[in-house]
Structure 1
Amino acid sequence: MADVLTTIPNVGPKVAARLRRLGVERVEDLRGADPEELFERTCAMEGRQEDPCLLDTYHAAVDYATTGEARPWWEYSRERLAR
């Protein structure tokens, strides 16, 4: 059976596994989610600060699930760094 989370642009098997640990099983589970909160929960579960690129990937995944727009995660990195 194919991993439905890896059908999300920018989400590979490792990010999909992290999302599943957060209770995300389907693309629809990300609609309207808070990427910052997902990132904070991931850091807490791992017991360390994760790479901010994971936050950018969460932003890309949530936006895709919410709007259907697929943008590369590094565009979110540029926006984050510009703030």
Structure 2
Amino acid sequence: MHPSKVVRKNVKKLTDLPNIGVILAKKLHYIGIKSPQMLEGKKSLELYRLMCEQSGKREDPCLLDVLISITDFINGGEPRVWWYYTTERKKSYQI
């Protein structure tokens, strides 16, 4: 969902999260994340590595930006577009 449309109190399913559509919701399901609540306490880099392992290839680094956006949101951050996190990813993560 586009971050501008996200209403925290209405987040019930993965596609209610900022930047998550049907395809990314399926990728999250493949690694065992079935609901937004299951993201609580998860680290974005760990989720990214699980997705890479599950797919058998190195996923696009922008996927990590999306994962940072949803873990930040779940932990109380504002819903933001995924590319807001690109600079943070480039500074903080070696992938």
SS in 2 for 1:67: coil
1:16 partnered with 2:25: yes
Identity of aligned residues (%): 37
Establish whether residue 75 from structure 1 lines up as the match of residue 62 from structure 2.
no
CA shift in 2, pair 1:46/1:58, >3 Å: same
User: Given that residues 22 and 42 in structure 1 are in contact (C-alpha distance below 8 angstroms), is that contact kept between their aligned partners in structure 2?
Assistant: yes
**Greater helix share, structure number:** 1
How far 1:68 sits from its partner (Å)? Answer: 4.6
**Residues 2-58 of structure 1: per-residue CA shift (max 9 Å, x gap):** x81000010011110000111111111111211100100110111100000101101
Q: Does 1:65 align with 2:74?
A: yes
Task: Count residues in correspondence.
Answer: 81
5+ residue gaps, structure 2, are 1-11
- What TM-score, normalized by structure 1, do the two folds share? 0.88
**Which structure ranks higher in relative contact order (CA pairs < 8 Å, sequence separation ≥ 6)?**
1
Residue number in structure 1 paired with 2:58: 49
- How far residue 61 of structure 1 moved from its aligned partner, in angstroms, is 0.8
2:49 to 23, 40, 48: 40
The ranges of structure 1 where at least 4 consecutive aligned residues each deviate by more than 6 angstroms after the TM superposition are none
